[in-house]
Amino acid sequence: MENKLGKNPFFDVKMGTAGAFFLGAIVFAVNYSYGWQLALIAASKQAVYTFFIGGVMTKIAENLALKFLNRNQSLILAVFVPTILTSLLTYGMHSLKGTPEPFISTVPTFVFAPPGFYWWALRKRRQYEKVQQNK
């Protein structure tokens, strides 16, 4: 099974890994004032979560970026849908026991998700348009 770019339509290992390291480090720094142990718990939860959810959400963004003929509609949905889902899931994960500052730990997702998903969606849409031109 493949998407319109011939890629796995469900998960992106590379983007999941990159997001895990990036957001895990930020959450560690946000929670460090509570001690390295609690910061490590929060960062570990964020890293594992981001690997799996980030890998799925980047694929949702990619698939939505390619879904509609209307480029703007595709790009708006490719940013909006995964940003809302990711933000809600991140807050829920940090609301579970172990994160001292659940809302503040979610702020990096609110800040970095929209531009990240936009960059990814635009990149994938351009790749798709290039492939379509060469046909």
What pLDDT, on the 0 to 100 scale, is given for residue 93? 81
For the stretch 18-53, pLDDT in tens is 989 998 999 899 889 999 999 999 899 889 988 999
What pLDDT, on the 0 to 100 scale, is given for residue 114? 95
Examine the pLDDT at 135 and tell me if it is beyond 80: no
List the one residue out of 58, 57, 27, 19 whose CA is nearest residue 44: 27
What pLDDT, on the 0 to 100 scale, is given for residue 50? 86
Residue 82 CA to residue 116 CA, distance in Å, equals 10
CA 118 to mean position of chain CA atoms: 11
For the stretch 63-109, pLDDT in tens is 999 999 999 999 999 999 999 999 999 888 878 876 788 888 788 88
Q: What is the model's pTM?
A: 0.81
pLDDT average, residue stretch 10-21: 92
For the stretch 101-124, pLDDT in tens is 888 878 888 898 999 999 999 999
What pLDDT, on the 0 to 100 scale, is given for residue 21? 94
pLDDT average, residue stretch 5-18: 89
